[in-house]
């Protein structure tokens, strides 16, 4: 009896939480494509792994290949064109225009499935993307190696920095934090022979503070992406750009995706 009651309670909580999430997503994303400032609202999507989820409690946000392909098809069908972070910066600095419906697709960490699975799908749609690499771990575990990175770079995929070892930056002393940030930039630049202008803070909320933000600026990055939910609508702080985390294949995230990109 008690068990059934608590089960019912949990179901109600889940239903309420789902409803709130839908309403939040709808409130955030069913907005005009152009903001009051006259500037476009640009959705920046954050993916991590594109593969079948290995186990229910796997902690890295994972989107199955078939869902990723459907999401790309959805974007294409709705007239979205992918842009690079360079284009985003140039637009907000008034130096360039953008396609009518721009979207920036990003991948964090540099998982090998970004090459084996996501890359062919992106190519199929003529889409570009940006991958933020953990520069001290390239070619280890299930992460991309330099050969794959170079091939993707040759196609037009942008590579950004995501520290050397993926620490919680705010829990480090200033010296080690500065090295994590600056060395990741230098390492990728040395291997690719091109500037690395963009950074993504590891982890979600609380991933950076004023001090860390200052170190990213000092390292010479043009812009940095956070995980805070939302669309890029202004360029007031280029070192704290918002993104939208695409988590998994639940019906809820699919709905959020659809409400965001109409
Ligand atoms: Zn990460």
How much distance in Å is there from the Cα of 65 to the middle of ligand 1? Answer: 20
What is the whole-number distance in angstroms between the Cα of residue 14 and the centre of ligand 1?
28
Separation CA 192–CA 108 (nearest Å): 18
Q: How far does residue 137's CA lie from ligand 1's centre (Å)?
A: 12
CATH 3.20.20.370 is the classification of domain 31-260: yes
**pTM attached to this predicted model:** 0.87
CA of 5 to the centre of ligand 1 (A): 39
Q: Are 196 and 7 in contact (CB under 8 A)?
A: no
Q: Calculate how far, in angstroms, residue 167's C-alpha sits from the geometric centre of ligand 1.
A: 9
Task: Give distance in angstroms: CA of 241 to centre of ligand 1.
Answer: 15
Cα-to-centroid distance, 135 and ligand 1 (Å): 11
- DSSP for 13-60, written as a single string: HHHHHHHHHHHHHHHHHSS-SB-TTSPBPB-EEEE-EES--SSTT--S
Digit-by-digit pLDDT tens for the chain (262 residues) are 455 666 666 666 666 666 666 555 555 555 556 665 778 888 899 999 999 988 888 989 999 999 999 999 999 999 999 999 999 999 999 999 999 999 999 999 999 999 999 999 999 999 999 999 999 999 999 999 999 999 999 999 999 999 999 999 999 999 999 999 999 999 999 999 999 999 999 997 678 999 999 999 999 999 999 976 677 767 778 999 988 888 875 555 666 677 666 6
CA of residue 226 to ligand 1 center, whole Å: 11
- Distance of CA 202 from the midpoint of ligand 1 (Å): 4
Query: How far is ligand 1, taken at its centre, from the CA of residue 163, in Å?
Result: 9
Could you count the other beta carbons within 10 Å of the beta carbon of residue 249? 17
Query: What CA–CA distance (Å, rounded) separates 81 from 67?
Result: 19
Ligand 1 center from residue 105 Cα (angstroms): 15
10 CA → ligand 1 middle, Å: 31
Burial class of residue 214 in the structure, from the number of CB atoms within 10 Å of its CB (0-12 exposed, 13-18 middle, 19+ buried): middle
Question: For the stretch 148-180, what's the b/e string if a residue is b when 16 or more beta carbons lie within 10 angstroms of its beta carbon?
Answer: bbeebbeeebbbbbbbbebeebeebeeeebbeb
Q: How much distance in Å is there from the Cα of 229 to the middle of ligand 1? A: 16
């Amino acid at each position: 009896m008690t068990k059934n009651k608590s089960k019912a309670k949990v179901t109600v909580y889940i239903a309420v939480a789902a409803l709130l999430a839908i309403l939040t997503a709808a409130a955030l994303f069913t907005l005009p494509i152009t903001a009051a400032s006259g500037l476009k609202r640009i959705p920046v999507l954050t993916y991590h792994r594109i593969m079948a989820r290995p186990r229910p409690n796997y902690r890295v946000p994972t989107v199955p290949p078939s869902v990723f392909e459907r999401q790309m098809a959805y974007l294409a069908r709705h007239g979205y064109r992918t842009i690079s972070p360079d284009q985003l910066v140039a637009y907000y600095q008034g130096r360039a225009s953008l396609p009518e419906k721009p979207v920036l697709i990003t991948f964090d960490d540099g998982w090998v499935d970004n090459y084996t699975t996501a890359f062919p799908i992106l190519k199929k749609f003529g889409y570009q993307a940006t991958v933020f690499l953990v520069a001290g771990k390239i070619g280890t575990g299930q992460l991309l190696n330099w050969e794959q990175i170079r091939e993707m770079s040759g196609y037009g995929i942008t590579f950004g920095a995501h520290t050397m070892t993926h620490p919680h930056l705010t829990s480090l002393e200033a010296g080690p934090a500065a090295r994590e940030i600056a060395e990741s930039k230098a390492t990728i630049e040395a291997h690719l022979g091109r500037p690395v202008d963009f950074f993504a803070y590891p982890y979600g909320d609380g991933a950076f503070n004023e001090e860390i933000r200052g170190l990213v600026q000092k390292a010479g990055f043009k812009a940095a992406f956070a995980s805070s939910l939302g669309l890029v609508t202004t360029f007031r702080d280029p070192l704290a750009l918002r993104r939208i985390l695409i988590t998994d294949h639940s019906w809820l995230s699919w709905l959020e995706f659809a409400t965001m990109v109409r």
